[in-house]
Structure 1
Amino acid sequence: MRVKRYVVDSMPDALQKIRNDLGKDAVIINTKEVRTGGFLGMFTKKKIEVIAAMDQAASGPSGKPADPPSSSRQSAQPQASLSAVATTAKPLVAAAYGAQAGHAPQAVQPAMTQASREEKLSLAFPEVPDVFPETPAPAASPLPIAPFQRSQAAGMIRAKEDMLLDEIKQMKDMMLKLSLRQGEVEEQHPSLQRYERRLLEQEVDPLLVDELMAVAAEEAVREEAELTEEFVRHSLEKQLLAILAGDGVKSIAADTRIAHFVGPTGVGKTTTIAKLAAEQVLKHQRKVGFITSDTYRIAAVEQLKTYGTILNVPLEVVFSPLDLNRAFENLKDCDLIFMDTAGRNFRNEMYVSELNALLRSGGKSETFLVLSLTTKYKDIKAITSNFNKFKLDKVLFTKLDETDSYGAIPNIIREFGLQPSYVANGQSVPDDIRVLQEKQIIDLILEDREP
């Protein structure tokens, strides 16, 4: 038996080659779709692989096809020829496939992946006579394929095509992200470089900067817009606004009874309390009281007592957590109590734990972490990390007027998930404090002010 493998564009091409090479008595053993050419698995072309065979007994001594057998020989030998084809086709096809493909023989794929190909074969090659006319139809075709096998093979092909399309899409997305990370877009668009440099100068976390720049570039690609400075700024404003907005009330809530203020030394907790107490008394007409545990700093109690005298606000001093019950009892008629705590070394966990023992109350309370913007961001991050082990609700920033770097604000809010509240920008009581305005902070971060 002679077995040959053909890779063609269409079945008519295959039939013509089979007829020329093997004669009209040849039998098609197997067909399947293959992909050739391309680069890295893409841009390949669909081809059809056809395996054909011819029984050498039907050939003459020269190897060319002999004349069609007589009816008497057909009636005497069909079953034997069919048996020979059926028993020898599979190993011969496997050997031929391996020899022509340049690798070890493999299992033959299921023949005829689509039922319509049989109809194409009969229409394109009608003159080929039936090799075994007296054999029943189910046994006449070597390696017959059941309908459910054809359906299963077609489904597998469609699944592979869908998988290939998904892989191409994923590759495109990956290439876009890689190009953004490697700076290809930034090199082409100086506006991205300008804002990236500005954000880094503002001490915005480099990881956050990369994320902001990548989103801006992806928006430009998605919207097919030019990466102008105006477009980049608009994208950065939207992203920073989402970070700074928070999802709660920034000011002291109307039903809050105890407002604790904690933080490291020298951030301005006492002055901040005086500003907020004045706002509550003068603007909201609430009855306010003071509690201070800052008995370590010289004149700390006297400073808060002076503010209390001006505002007509009572003051209670506690030296330990045991004194809290007495202080709360004396201030039970107050609508809102401000509690000033001593500044603690944030690196000493024992001090911070002692402070946490003071943060208890008999009603709804809020704890404000007070941070100074003149502190290095590395230290601000460490301070927040240590105090965040306990109950923190909001973050308040002071000394806005004493710095030109504002990147710590979005960094802390984003990383620790704290609700922004107030910003203080001076020593004047009660004027120099206000609820954080996102637009103002964003402008301070993005505007490039020349000296």
Structure 2
Amino acid sequence: MKVKRYLVHDMNEAMIKIKSELGMDAVILNTRKIKKGGLFKFFSKPLLEVVAAIDEQPISTTKQVPIAARTEHSEVPPVIREAPAPNKSELEMSELKDMVAALIKKVESIENKTEPATETETPSDRYIEVLKELEIQAPIAKKIIEIVQRQINLSEKNHDTVMNAIKVIAREYLGDIKTIDTDMPGKPSVYMFLGPTGVGKTTTLAKIAARLALVDNKQVGLITADTYRIAAVEQLKTYSEILGIPLEVIYEADELDTAVKHFKDKDYILIDTAGRSHKSKELKSDYDELVHYLDDVNIFLVLSMTTSYKDLKSIIDSYQFLEQYRLLFTKLDEANSFGNILNTRVLTGQPLSYFTIGQSVPDDIEVADKERIIQYIFETES
């Protein structure tokens, strides 16, 4: 069986080519239009695809008249072709068409370079996809898999071993955890809480203050500069009264100096700041005005776990004027995925500190333990 495929402008052109190349006994198996931008994108007009075939050893029923029997007036041509007998059964023809269709599909997949070649997907590609499904950014996922691949064979047969190795590398990427310093060279140690509005800075500050005062028996003073929201001041006043921790409210930056001196006998001073949109032009100037009155300050950048990576990156970019800070994530109880913990840690190079897991003060806060983080990130991996 000889099969040929033609790309022509119309059926007449197809018939001429088929007759000249395959002969009168050729059978047309399939025709279809190829639209502009289809299989061969350099054609500007639609084309017609015609697939024809011929049996290279046809069953011939041709009878020839012996030359000696020919006469001058004979109306019988030198070669008489009788009506051809059926070439194939309908079933055979259907099978032939299926074979040709499969051949066409294979040719198209080779010609169309944009089609995904799933057959060439490697084990490393598959494991990168696993990490991306866990909301780990592609560059980080690729780096982790590259490291794992140097150590063990990536195979579905040892999936559990591969995943364990991935978790080990991810754990290393998390780096050191840095919370409130306990080995203070001098006191008081000052901590300022920064971050966009709505992430829970005030509640988080109260949770840490409660731990320091009730669990660690430390002397703590609270300062709030968040006078834009009356509710925030009242909220911190309520916590202050319940916990027995003194609170100073400042309305102007220059009042901070007096408030800090008022708490000079304390072990820790925690400063709440106003929530600002990370797109605010006053973000850096507000910060500069406050730190001008502080000899030394440690920063917690408070971020919500429910924020998308794109927005987290935008927030972090807006705080690029900070040289050092500690990442503090809130609302883990409201999140569906936790890959952004790793993403943000790698993006900033800054240490993780605490997580908040609810609204209860002082209970719903925990130190950002690395084993716990890995559990958070990979708990949905099946």
TM-score by length of 2: 0.64
Q: Do structure 1's residue 329 and structure 2's residue 329 form an aligned pair?
A: no
Partner of 2:72: none
Q: Do structure 1's residue 210 and structure 2's residue 142 form an aligned pair?
A: yes
Q: Do structure 1's residue 244 and structure 2's residue 178 form an aligned pair?
A: no
CA shift, 1:357, in A, is 2.1
CA shift, 1:363, in A, is 5.0
CA shift, 1:448, in A, is 2.6
CA shift, 1:445, in A, is 1.6
Partner of 2:45: none
Distance 2:288 2:201 in 1: 16
* Matched letter for residue 279 of structure 1: R
The correspondence for 2:248, drawn from 309, 316, 324, is: 316
CA shift, 1:389, in A, is 1.3
Instruction: Rate the CA distance shift 1:310–1:391 in 2: closer, same or farther, 3 A.
Output: farther
Distance 2:161 2:146 in 1: 13
Instruction: Rate the CA distance shift 1:269–1:287 in 2: closer, same or farther, 3 A.
Output: same
Segment of structure 1 superposing worse, 385-394 or 323-332: 385-394
CA shift, 1:443, in A, is 2.0
Partner of 1:118: none
* Matched letter for residue 231 of structure 1: T
Q: Do structure 1's residue 427 and structure 2's residue 359 form an aligned pair?
A: yes
Distance 1:183 1:434 in 2: 46
* Matched letter for residue 428 of structure 1: S
Instruction: Rate the CA distance shift 1:321–1:186 in 2: closer, same or farther, 3 A.
Output: farther
Alignment of 1:160-171 (within 5 A): none
Distance 2:292 2:369 in 1: 30
Partner of 1:187: 121
CA shift, 1:356, in A, is 3.2
* Matched letter for residue 160 of structure 2: E
The correspondence for 1:374, drawn from 306, 309, 312, is: 306
Distance 1:183 1:313 in 2: 64
Partner of 2:191: 259
CA shift, 1:449, in A, is 6.0
CA shift, 1:336, in A, is 0.6
Instruction: Rate the CA distance shift 1:238–1:297 in 2: closer, same or farther, 3 A.
Output: same
The correspondence for 1:228, drawn from 158, 161, 164, is: 158
Partner of 2:207: 275
CA shift, 1:239, in A, is 1.1
Any conservation in 2 of the 1:273–1:340 contact (CA below 8 Å)?
yes
Any conservation in 1 of the 2:257–2:294 contact (CA below 8 Å)?
no
Any conservation in 1 of the 2:227–2:251 contact (CA below 8 Å)?
yes
| Structure number having the greater helix percentage | 1
Corresponding residue pairs, total: 264
Distance 2:341 2:293 in 1: 29
CA shift, 1:412, in A, is 1.1
Any conservation in 2 of the 1:288–1:336 contact (CA below 8 Å)?
yes
Instruction: Rate the CA distance shift 1:251–1:334 in 2: closer, same or farther, 3 A.
Output: closer
CA shift, 1:242, in A, is 0.9
Partner of 1:390: 322
* Matched letter for residue 245 of structure 1: G
- The secondary structure found in structure 1 opposite 2:302 is strand
Distance 2:117 2:170 in 1: 22
Segment of structure 1 superposing worse, 249-258 or 296-305: 249-258
Q: Deviations over 1:306-327 (max 9, x none)?
A: 0000111111111222111111
Partner of 1:84: none
Alignment of 1:6-405 (within 5 A): 187=121, 189=123, 195-220=127-152, 228-246=158-176, 249-255=178-184, 257-360=189-292, 362=294, 364-405=296-337
Partner of 1:438: 370
Q: Give unpaired runs (5+ residues) of structure 1.
A: 1-181
- The secondary structure found in structure 1 opposite 2:352 is strand
CA shift, 1:229, in A, is 1.1
Q: Deviations over 1:384-425 (max 9, x none)?
A: 121131243211000011011111111111121101100111
Any conservation in 2 of the 1:257–1:363 contact (CA below 8 Å)?
no
CA shift, 1:364, in A, is 4.3
CA shift, 1:365, in A, is 2.6
Distance 2:242 2:194 in 1: 24
Instruction: Rate the CA distance shift 1:188–1:376 in 2: closer, same or farther, 3 A.
Output: closer
Distance 1:373 1:186 in 2: 36
Instruction: Rate the CA distance shift 1:212–1:285 in 2: closer, same or farther, 3 A.
Output: same
CA shift, 1:227, in A, is 6.3
Q: Deviations over 1:64-112 (max 9, x none)?
A: xxxxxxxxxxxxxxxxxxxxxxxxxxxxxxxxxxxxxxxxxxxxxxxxx
Share of identical aligned residues, percent? 38
Higher RCO (C-alpha under 8 Å, 6+ residues apart): 2
Q: Deviations over 1:350-389 (max 9, x none)?
A: 2332123213555543110000010111111111121131
Distance 1:384 1:227 in 2: 40
Distance 1:183 1:264 in 2: 44
CA shift, 1:297, in A, is 1.4
Any conservation in 2 of the 1:369–1:392 contact (CA below 8 Å)?
no
TM-score by length of 1: 0.54
CA shift, 1:298, in A, is 3.0
Q: Please report the RMSD computed on the Cα atoms of aligned residues, expressed in angstroms.
A: 2.5
Larger radius of gyration: 1
Instruction: Rate the CA distance shift 1:419–1:227 in 2: closer, same or farther, 3 A.
Output: farther
Any conservation in 1 of the 2:144–2:169 contact (CA below 8 Å)?
yes
* Matched letter for residue 299 of structure 1: A
- The secondary structure found in structure 1 opposite 2:121 is helix
